[in-house]
Amino acid sequence: MVSVGLNPAATPERYPFDTLGGKAMTTTIEKTTGIVGLLEALSAEMSIAAVSCGHLDSALGQILETVPAESRLKVMQELHMVDMLAQHITAITDFTAGLASSMAAEGAPDVDAALSRITLGDVAARLRETLTTKVAA
């Protein structure tokens, strides 16, 4: 299981964990609920951003219909980039929602379960590598 390290300079009031790596943290339901709320709000905002990417993708698709044939490749490339961005945002949304869910149920983030919710393998691999590197440091 991947665990997440915390900033040693952070105040205990900001993080709802027991001692983690020798750093004193507090465990209260109110603080856990605050983190869960934060993660849920972040996930909701990212979901809105993904929907906005969908609207942009649709608008670019409409523009593509009016673009001269010799310029369509460029617009199609931009359409692809918008689609990739929407997928990336959705992956992070799913990860954040997974963290919130495990925090609400268990009082601690289940990073492995949250990572398993990500359908884009590259995003999941980068997050896992980053989180593993941060914990090892």
Q: What is the tens place of the pLDDT at every residue in 78-92?
A: 899 999 999 999 999
What does the angle CA 107 – CA 124 – CA 110 come to, to the nearest 5 degrees? 10
What is the dihedral sign for C-alpha 33, 37, 43, 44? positive
pTM of the model as a whole:
0.70
pLDDT of residue 137: 73
Rounded CA separation 72/62 (Å):
12
Q: What is the tens place of the pLDDT at every residue in 108-131?
A: 899 999 999 999 999 999 999 999
Q: What is the tens place of the pLDDT at every residue in 20-79?
A: 444 444 444 456 668 899 999 999 999 999 999 999 999 989 989 999 999 899 889 989
In a 13 Å sphere around the CA of 51, the CA atoms on its Cβ side amount to 6
